[in-house]
Structure 1
Amino acid sequence: MTRESPTDSIWSLSFRVKGRTHSGLMYAYQFRHPGGGSVTEGGGGGVLNPYRVRYIRRTAPNTFPATYTAPLDLWQKNPPMPVEPPQGSVGVDEDPTGGTLPSRIALHQNYPNPFNPTTTIRFTVPATVGTGRAGIALAGRHALSLRVFDLLGREVSTLVSEVKEPGTYTVQWDATNFASGVYLYRLEAGGFSQTKKMLLMR
């Protein structure tokens, strides 16, 4: 690890992984003090997503680059840490701050359904969600997750895992690399959890 300049707080880290090329990284930064002790980001409280997640972008179907440069990270003391969406899964904010704020949290049915290969999922986040196992409330902003599972209960994709302002959001799921069948998508925030079904038909 090297420092970009003695006048700033930007550091560069390079490392080499032996073996097969990986498609993603899960990590967190830790600083050790010269006098002893250390500080790890994401360790400031809470349990939702204490690690950063980045996906290495494909250069062609099922082909990943041997050398990858990640964008700049900013130190973050408290979770949830940033989770980059998988390639082909893009979240779009519809109206996070303007207009009338929703009065309740809700997960809506995906559209189109059945779909091939992409579908859009919409959810709303009110001003108050509360706290619980799945998320922590942060000054009117709420930690939540939106994940996709197969019928065996295995998580196959994480679409959202971050703090969101009150508002309405849409997320697109690209199922190009998944088999036909029924999938479940689940929204969790505070003590709230809701699951719906969607059908991928080739």
Structure 2
Amino acid sequence: MYGIITGDIINSRRIDAKAREYLYAALQQFLKTLQVEGWLKKVEQTGGDSFQCEVVDVKQVLRIALMIKCFVKANTITAPSSKQADATKKTLPATANAGVRIAASIGGVDFMKKKLSASDGEAFILASEALATLKTTYSELALLTSQPLLNASLASTIVLLDALAQKYFGRQAAVILQKLQFKKEEEVATIMGISQPGVNQAAKSAQWYAVEIALKYIEDQITLAYAC
């Protein structure tokens, strides 16, 4: 079984050009970092605002999708100004409506090429179908697997996770991103340069406890279904 993630930036063309350029570059670097750290096998960014990834551990496919969502949420507040002469180094606000639509899938693959865009099979088809569905709903996160009963059992939990994640912004998103990677609050505080109470408060306001329980349930169900 393969875990595939595909997604795109929402309302990308409404973002200021310089802010959009910054966001695309930052996202590309983040995906490469996840690859180096062993979360992703392959990464491909197409058309600037679209991307596709293959995960290392299929049971973590939704966790990694949430990491990407949180990264974008944490980086759509401001972006560097293009005015080099600006001594105050002001930032350009990104569009408040900017976000990311992400579809994850678990399934077989007919053939896997060096480039994900040249690969095909069930997992790629499921991810593409899930992303197309998201474009006609209010949801921004989806998971489709090769097992219909598993999909049905996870659907409502994923909707609730998506509803929480859509409300994240700034520090909340940045803290949840770190906690999704199993980092302790002391470590998150050091990485972000804030106090541990600040990390704790951000995690509480983002309802991390609920996200953690929901993800454990989802990952346990995937493990049972695929013996992974």
TM-score (norm 1): 0.21
User: Higher relative CO (CA 8 A, sep ≥ 6), structure 1 or 2?
Assistant: 2
Task: Tell me which structure has the larger Cα radius of gyration.
Answer: 1
More strand by share: 1
